[in-house]
Amino acid sequence: MNNNKIGMFDSGIGGLTVLKELRKLLPNENYIYYADSKNNPYGEKSDEELMDIVTNIVNFLIEKEVKIIVIACNTATTRCINRLRKMYPDMIFVGTEPAIKVACDKNYKNTLVMATPGTIKSERTHELVKLNKRSDQKITLLPCKGLADAIESGNKDRINKVLHRLLDKYTCENIDSIVLGCTHYPHVKKNIKEIFPNAKLIDGNKGVSKQVKRQLESHNLLSNSEKHGKVKMIYNK
């Protein structure tokens, strides 16, 4: 058993959607959440720029003696997690990636994957499509430049303008599922539903939470506290 905190980070408020699911599943754990709004959006950074940013955050969390690090960002996961695991072999990392496998397993025929440009062009995203898509399934990868930044701003008019710019051209294509491949995007589920009322919206947050629990159990790191855990927020603005 271990009562150290679970460390988490994202390029701002997006990863709070992951934190919400984690607190449902592991309510007695304590969390430290690093909201890196200063460097938002991650999806438009070069690989080396992003790796430098992420490494600094990981070092900060390790100094806080966290027992596991959750990369609550699809872009940072798909582009950095393998290198981080090599750099920090004694730390457990759990990442988030577009839930393409879920959409394929549930037999949706026409899936739209919304993600940052960085996530869309990553090798891991294309690997997920190749591994999971069947011949009778169509998957469209949509780079959503500016959407995470708009969500971060909290400006409703700006958010809706970006969403309509990105999505209106797909409304006639019988999209039956939409993968929300960025942890910011569940914040605007209602807005997306207004454009695609019949599409199933899929994110990987519950799956990430279950994986965190599995990792803590397998390493005997679950908290033995009977009290409801707390969250410490760190804002890098």
Angle between helices 123-132 and 74-87 (to 10 degrees): 100
Domain ranges of the chain: 6-96+205-235, 100-202
Q: Which CATH number fits domain 100-202: 3.40.50.1860, 3.90.420.10, 3.20.10.10, 3.30.2010.10?
A: 3.40.50.1860
Whether residue 43 has pLDDT greater than 90: no
| Tokens coding 150 | 């708009």
Eight-state DSSP code of residue 187: G
pLDDT of residue 200: 97
Architecture of the domain made up of 6-96+205-235: 3-Layer(aba) Sandwich (3.40)
Whether residue 2 has pLDDT greater than 90: no
Eight-state DSSP code of residue 67: S
Is 73 catalytic? The answer is: yes
Whether residue 150 has pLDDT greater than 90: yes
Share of the chain above pLDDT 90, in %: 95
pLDDT, tens digit (0-9, with 9 covering 90-100), for 82-110: 999 999 999 999 999 999 999 999 999 99
State mean pLDDT over 164-192.
96
- Among the options 73, 80, 104, 144, which is catalytic? 73
| Tokens coding 122 | 């990553």
pLDDT of residue 50: 96
pLDDT of residue 1: 78
pLDDT, tens digit (0-9, with 9 covering 90-100), for 185-236: 999 999 999 999 999 999 999 999 999 999 999 999 999 999 999 999 999 9
Q: How far is CA 227 from CA 30, 64, 158, 222, 232, in A?
A: 10, 21, 41, 13, 16
pLDDT of residue 44: 82
What one-character-per-residue DSSP string does 168-203 give? GGGTTS---EEEE-STTGGGGHHHHHHH-TTSEEE-
Q: How far is CA 63 from CA 1, 4, 67, 99, 120, in A?
A: 20, 12, 11, 31, 32
Which amino acid, residue 152?
E
On the question of a common fold for 6-96+205-235 and 100-202, the answer reads yes
Is 182 catalytic? The answer is: yes
pLDDT of residue 222: 96
Helix (H, G, I), strand (E, B) or coil at 83: helix
Tell me the average pLDDT of the chain.
96
Whether residue 41 has pLDDT greater than 90: no
pLDDT of residue 56: 98
Eight-state DSSP code of residue 65: T
The C-alpha angle 81, 98, 40, rounded to 5 degrees, equals 65
Share of the chain above pLDDT 70, in %: 100
Whether residue 174 has pLDDT greater than 90: yes
| Tokens coding 3 | 């009562």
pTM of the shown model: 0.92
What is the enclosing helix (H) or strand (E) of 202? strand 200-202
Instruction: For residues 80 and 7, give the distance between their C-alpha atoms in angstroms, rounded to a whole number.
Output: 16
- Among the options 80, 104, 144, 182, which is catalytic? 182
